[in-house]
Amino acid sequence: MQADQLKERINRIEECADEAKRAVQAGSVPEPLRQAVDQLHQQARQAKQQAGGQQQGQQGQQGLEQAVVQMEQTGDRAMQACRSAGNVDPQAQQAVQRAHDEISSLKKQIQMG
């Protein structure tokens, strides 16, 4: 995957994480979900900075791939927290789902080379 494509996808993930964070703050959601979304937002922001100042080459690429794997794990936790909570605000749930889908899609693309 080209570095600029990767950067663009990470930007999109960061936007989704922003949206999820806003939706979670607006509604009343359980603490585990709030924490997972906060962490996801933080990881997405770090990945975006990493992509922006990316040192080209193998090392920079591997660092970003690792960041995507971590974001996916956090996204999984957020999804699980949504399911466990039961009646989460639909807007928050959709935002979390979108962020998770973006991350999973990017991870698959990276793995396929």
Residue 2 φ/ψ region, left for φ over 0, alpha for ψ in the -120 to 50 degree band, beta for the rest? beta
How much is the average pLDDT of 84-101?
88
Domains in the chain (CATH in brackets) are: 3-50+57-112 (1.20.120.230)
CA-to-CA separations, 36 to 2, 7, 51, 60, in angstroms, rounded: 29, 23, 22, 26
* Rounded to 5°, angle at Cα 11 from 85 and 59: 105
With bands split at pLDDT 50, 70 and 90, how would you rate the model's confidence at 85? Answer: confident
Residue 4 banded pLDDT, cuts 50, 70, 90: confident
Q: At 42, phi and psi to the nearest 5?
A: -65, -45
Q: Are 85 and 71 in contact (CB under 8 A)?
A: no
Query: 0.85 exceeded by the pTM?
Result: yes
The per-residue pLDDT for range 24-82, each reduced to its tens digit, is 888 778 899 999 999 999 999 999 888 877 555 666 778 888 899 999 999 999 999 98
- Say what the pLDDT of residue 26 is: 82
Mean pLDDT of 93-101: 93
| pLDDT recorded at residue 45 | 93
14-29 mean pLDDT: 89
